[in-house]
Homo-oligomer: A and B are copies of this chain.
Amino acid sequence: MKVVKLILTTNSLFNEILSSQTANRTVKQQRIVIAAIRLFAEKGYSNTSTAEIAKVAEVSEASIFKQYVTKDRLLLSLVVPYIKEFFPSKANETINQIISKADSTFEGFIRAFLKNRIAFIVENREIFQVLIKEIIYKEELKNELLPYFSELVTPLMTKVIELFKERGELIDIPITRILKLIFTFIGGFVASRFVLLNQESINDEEIEDAIHFIINGIQKASFDNK
């Protein structure tokens, strides 16, 4: 069995960290990670000094640099493993399972997908905030995540959309455009709630509204009003 691990073609720091281990950390190194995530999430990367991280982690500043060499690499070391987890390869199986069921609906799929990913964000709220806040500034992060996203998520979602499109329920535009609409909304949804409004969770009512909005948004118009 061949396992293809390499997804990105570029050889970057991003990939280096992707393949590095995050386990067997010392207690102090753990404290650095926790402190850094908390401070970066709260005040942003640029507004947090390494001195402050060291103080909160109750560790000498030099300990941070012994391990991470630069402040920049510290950020990447926090964010990259999170991204790795956010798009799990396991999702493939789950999706195949869902779409193999004959009675499965697109609504059910979207509900499962949304609730699952929101739960994941809630579990790791702070690091999600760091990611969203810093992806705007760090070109490297942006240029690596966007392809990573489109290469891992797009094929999976395309599969699902295709299935329901064949049933004729969905709007008659290319799948890439449907996906763009869905992810624009979901992106706006989680970013506004968890980053802008700093919510700790999202209640079910709002999630159901969102699901309805997405489902109807991409369905074939029931009446042409043009």
Contacts and interface: CB of A to CB of B under 8 A. Distances in A.
A80 B189 CA distance: 25
A225 B164 CA distance: 14
Interface string A126-170: 000000010111000010000000000000000000000000000
**A interface SS class:** helix
Interface of A: 43-44, 46-47, 105, 107, 133, 135-137, 142, 171, 173, 177, 180-181, 184-189, 191-192, 195-196, 205-206, 209-210, 212-214, 216-219, 221-223, 225-226
Contacts of A47: 46, 137
17 contacts: A44-B137, A46-B46, A46-B47, A107-B225, A133-B136, A133-B137, A142-B196, A184-B210, A187-B188, A187-B192, A188-B191, A188-B192, A213-B218, A216-B216, A216-B218, A216-B219, A222-B223
Contacts of A218: 213, 216
Nearest to A105: B225
B192 A184 contact: yes
A142 B196 CA distance: 8
Contact of A184 (B46, B171, B188): B188
A212 B219 CA distance: 10
